[in-house]
Amino acid sequence: MHEAYQEGAERTNNNDRLVRLRYALDLKDSEMVEVFNLGEADVSLGDVRYLLSKQDERDEEEDDFTENVYRKECTNRLFESFLNGLIVYKRGRQTSKTGEPVKMTYALKYDKDVNNILLKKVKVAMKLTNEDILDILDETGVHISKSELSAVLRKEDHRNYQECGDRYARNFLKGLALSYRG
């Protein structure tokens, strides 16, 4: 298995993912509220600021590998609502053949799948191809094959499904920031 999939000592939580995604796409607090609301999450400007701000209390024994603690936890459901809202924000609301809005889908069942869902939904929102994702990762020094990327993008119950590790997701968000912010 490629090293990009390996879990490192540092754990990433949904708040960290949200902060990194916000930075990569250069979203303002008011835009974050709009994205959450488009994803059918009732979030205020104050909520967004709490989701993005760390608690001030830090233990002296903490090190670089300690998980960040935020003032308000971004649950899996809330994070996926943000990702769904991002798709609507960037691409518009999808409608059925009858013109009715398509119901939001929530695919995130387990914590271990958060990075896979992140990658898939950002891919859709930003209209990225697999080649675009490979190029974004190349910018951060992560080189993977098309088949490795395909395994990460598959549905969880597919026999070739591969869990996407935190390091891989962090490098994707870092590369996204390099691509979109320069």
The per-residue pLDDT for range 23-40, each reduced to its tens digit, is 999 999 999 999 999 999
Count Cα atoms within 13 angstroms, Cβ side, for 170. 14
Per the structure, the complete domain to which residue 58 belongs is given by: 3-181
Cβ contacts of residue 26 below 8 Å, gap of 6+?
A: 180, 181
> Residues of the chain whose pLDDT is less than 70?
1-11, 57-67, 182
CB 9 within 8 A of CB 65: yes
What is the maximum span of the chain, computed from C-alpha positions, in angstroms?
Answer: 59
pLDDT at 60: 46
pTM of the model: 0.85
Rounded to whole angstroms, the Cα distance separating 119 from 70 reads: 23
DSSP code at position 72: S
Q: Which two tokens stand for residue 41?
A: 């999450």
Domain tally, the chain: 1
pLDDT at 99: 81
pLDDT at 1: 35
pLDDT at 129: 97
pLDDT at 182: 67
Count Cα atoms within 13 angstroms, Cβ side, for 54. 10
Cβ contacts of residue 111 below 8 Å, gap of 6+?
A: 76
